[in-house]
Structure 1
Amino acid sequence: MAAMTLDPSLSLQVSSNASKNRVIVEEIDGLIRVYKDGHVERPQIMTHAACSSASEFGVSYRDVIIDKYTNIWARFYVPNTSLKKLPLLVYFHGGGFCVGSASWSCYHEFLAKLSSKTSCVIVSVNHRLAPEYPLPAAYEDGVKALIWLRQQSLLGKNEWWTNNCNISKIFLAGDSAGANIAFNVSIRLARKIDIKGLILIQPFFGGESRTHSEKYMMQPPRSALTLAASDTYWRLSLPPGENRDHPWCNPMAKMSPNLEELRDLSIMVCISEMDILKDRNLELCAKLGQKVEQIMYEGVGHAFQILNKSTLAQTRIHELTSHIKNFVHK
C-alpha cells in the first residue's frame, strides 16, 4: 500500500478557497499555516515516495500499519543481504513535531541508502503531528511503535523483516524533532525494553534563554532552521500554557527528567557546525557526560543530510553514514 494513502497529515489539508476569510494565528512560510478556528494547512512542498515491496537502493521496503485507530504506521527497510540478525534501527523523522512524513522522498532516499550501507533493518515511524496532536502524542506513538515491534518479533509475525532482525539489538534514532522523540522515548522505555543505543542527529531542543548560536548563527540557505521557525514549532507542539523551559523542550531545565535513566545506553550526538541548535546540542553532550560520542560536521547546517545536495553535504552524509555504521556494529 502506498504511503500517501496512510499519511495522516495529508488528510489535514484545507482548501485555499475555504481559508480566504480565516485569521492566521501561526505560520511558517511554505510549511504550515494555523488559523484561529483551528484549521491547519500544510502545503505539499515535498514529494512523497510511494511504497511497494520493490527493491531500490539495495533494500526492500514496505509500509505497515501499527495502530489503525490512531493511524500510526511505519516504513520498513530491509537490506538485500544474506546476513541475518541485523541491528534494528527505529527512526523518527524531523519537522518540528508539526510537519514531515516517513513517506517524504528526502527521508525515503536517505533511510533506504542508510539501511543498505549500514546493514540495518530500519523502521521509519510516522507519528501524529501537532498542533492537532500536541506533545506528548509523538512520544506516545514512539512508545507504542517500540512495544508493537517487540511483540511482533516475539510472536514470530511478519517474517519478511523479523527473520533478518536482531530484536535484542535495538537502536533509537532521529533527526531534529525526531531526535527529540527518540530521546524522550528512550527515557520512557529505558527500564522496559532493552535499547542498546541512541543516535541523535541535530536534536531539537530549546529554552527561554537564547544561546549564542541561536542569536548569531547564519540562517538559510546555509541551514534549514531559523530561530523564528523554532519558536513557532514549540508554540504549536507544547501543551497550552507551557513555555520553552518545559522539560520536553529543555532537558537542562529544573524539572527535566533524570538522565540516569540513560546510563546504560551508548549515545551518539551528531551536531552541525552551522546549525542554530549547535550550542543546545553541546550543552546536552556536556550533561550526558563522558559516555556520549560527540561528532561535529563542519560547514553544514540543520538537516543537511536530507535537504542539502552540495558536494560538501554529500561528503558529510558519507561521514555520517560511516559513523552510524560504526556505532551500531561496534
Structure 2
Amino acid sequence: TEGCTLHIHSIVLLTMAFSADPTAQPYVVEDCRGVLQLLSDGTVVRSAALPFPVDGNVAYNDHGRVEWQDAVYDAGLGLGLRMYKPTTNAREEGKKLPVLVYFHGGGFCIGSCTWPNFHAGCLRLAAELPAVVLSFDYRLAPEHRLPAAHEDAAAALLWLQNQLASDPWLADAANPRKVFVSGESAGGNIAHHLALRFGRAGLDPMRIEGYILLMPAFCSEQPTQSELDSPPTAFLTRETCDRYCRLFLPAGANKDHPLVNPFGPDSPSLETLDVGRVLVVAAEGDLLRDKNVEYAERLRAARGKENDGVELVVFTGEEHAFFGVKPMSAATGELVRVIRRFMATETEAAC
C-alpha cells in the first residue's frame, strides 16, 4: 500500500544516509514546516520560529478577566504546563469552575503551550467558557517517538489528580468533579487514548465528565475520500501528514498502528470506552474529516444508542486545526460557544 511504500522509502533513505561517508556534510532527510529538520547523521535541528502564519495579531484581550502562570509536572523530563483561571472578580463568588485539560496539536513533532497562538486560544477558553484551563506540553518526535506523548499525557492527568486539591492556586477556582479532557489534532488523538486508559472514573477523586476531540489525528493505511480529495494547497496536506507519520510512529510501524488508527486490526474496541459524554469536532476542508466523522459514528454505534452522549459538529468552510491556527477567528468563537454548551450540559452521572 501507499503507506507501507512511504515507510519503507523512509527507512531506505535513513539507511543510505547513516551508511554514507562519515566525512560528508550532513544533509536534510526530513523537513517539517521549516522549523524541524532531521539530518542524515541523525541530528534533529529545531527552530524557535512559528511554523505557520497565524491570523494577524494573536494577542487575546481578556480585559483582565484571566490570570495565568506556568508550572512543571515532570521535572525529570522538563515537561511543563500553562495554567489559566478567571480572576476572582470575573467569576461568581464561591462558585467552582469546570476544568478543561488541553493538549496542543503539531503532528506530535512540534508545538508548545507557550506558543502565542495556543496561548491566545487558551486565554479565550478560560475567559469565555469560563473555566480553569490547563495546557500541557509533552515530549516530541522524532527525538521521542510514540508512545512518549501518550505516556506524558497520562502522567499529566495523574499529576493533576491530586494537584487540583493541593495547589491553592487551582483549588481556589477548580471543580475537580467536573473535568473535561481535550486536544486538537495530535492532542485530540491523545485525548482518545486517555479515554481508553482512564475512562470517566479512573482518577478518583478527580472525575472526568467528558472528552472533547478537536479534529483528532486519526489515519490509516487505506486513505479516505477526504484524504484523496485534499488539495495540495491545504493547510494539512497528505504529504505533510505522511511526513509527520514517518517522524512520530514507532520504528517499524505503519499508519494502522493502534496509536494512530482507532479502527486498526490491533486497536481496542470502542465498546470498552466508559467516558461520559464525547464531543467530536471536524472541519469540512480537513483531510482527516472522514476519519473524524467515522470515529463519532462508530462510538455512537458501540454505545448501542444513536445519540447516547456523543456529539459531532462539522465546521463548514474550515480547515484542519483552525482553533490553533486562527485563535481569534469567528470560527474559533463559534467553537468556544459549542464547547461551552457541551460542558454546561448536565448528566445524571454528574448529579
TM-score by length of 1: 0.86
What secondary structure does 1:33 align onto?
A: strand
Structure 1 match to 2:35: 31
The aligned residue for residue 315 of structure 1 is 330
Distance 1:56 1:225 in 2: 33
The structural deviation recorded for 1:258 is 2.3
Percent of aligned pairs sharing the same letter:
37
Task: Give the structure, 1 or 2, with the largest relative contact order (CA under 8 Å, sep 6 or more).
Answer: 2
Pairing 1:213–2:226 present: yes
Verify the 8 A CA contact 1:57 1:113 in the aligned structure 2. no
Residue 74 (structure 1) aligned with residue 87 (structure 2): no
Could you tell me which of 254, 260, 266 is aligned with 1:249? 260
How many angstroms apart in 2 are the aligned matches of 1:128 and 1:57? 32
- In 2, Cα distance between the equivalents of 1:254 and 1:202? 22
Contact 2:195 2:275 survives alignment (8 Å): no
Cα RMSD of the aligned pairs, angstroms, is 2.0
Deviates more, 1:195-204 or 1:283-292: 283-292
How far the C-alpha of 1:56 sits from its partner, in A, is 6.3
**Aligned pair 1:45/2:49, yes or no?**
yes
Equivalent residue number for residue 126 of structure 2:
115
TM-score by length of 2: 0.81
Could you tell me which of 56, 65, 75 is aligned with 1:58? 65
User: In structure 2, which of residues 190, 200, 212 is the aligned counterpart of residue 199 of structure 1?
Assistant: 212
**Cα displacement (A) at 1:21:** 2.0
Matches within 5 A, 1:231-310: 231-289=242-300, 290-291=307-308, 292-308=310-326
Partners of 1:166 and 1:240 in 2: how far apart?
A: 41
Q: Deviations over 1:17-46 (max 9, x none)?
A: xxx921322222313211132211222332
> Number of residues paired by the alignment?
298
Q: Could you tell me which of 127, 130, 143 is aligned with 2:154?
A: 143
Please give the per-residue CA displacement for 1:128-158, whole angstroms capped at 9, x wherever unaligned. 101111111111111111111111234x2x2
- Deviation sequence 1:77-117 (CA, Å, 0-9, x none): 10122333111110000000000000000000011011100
C-alpha displacement of 1:172: 0.5
After superposition, the C-alpha distances for 1:175-227 in whole angstroms (9 at most, x for unaligned) are 0001001111121112522321111111111111111111112343xx42111
CA distance in 2, matches of 1:57, 1:182: 30
**CA–CA distance in structure 2, aligned partners of residues 268 and 185 of structure 1:** 15
- Alpha-carbon distance, 1:57 to partner: 5.9
Which deviations, in whole Å up to 9, do the C-alpha atoms of 1:226-273 show, x marking residues without a partner? Answer: 111111111111110000000111111121112233234200011100
SS at match of 1:139: helix
Q: 1:30 to 1:78 in 2, by over 3 A?
A: same
Residue 191 of structure 2 corresponds to residue 182 of structure 1: yes
C-alpha displacement of 1:287: 1.0
Distance of aligned partners of 1:268 and 1:209 in 2 relative to their CA distance in 1, 3 Å threshold: same
| Rg (Cα) greater in structure | 2
CA distance in 2, matches of 1:198, 1:261: 15
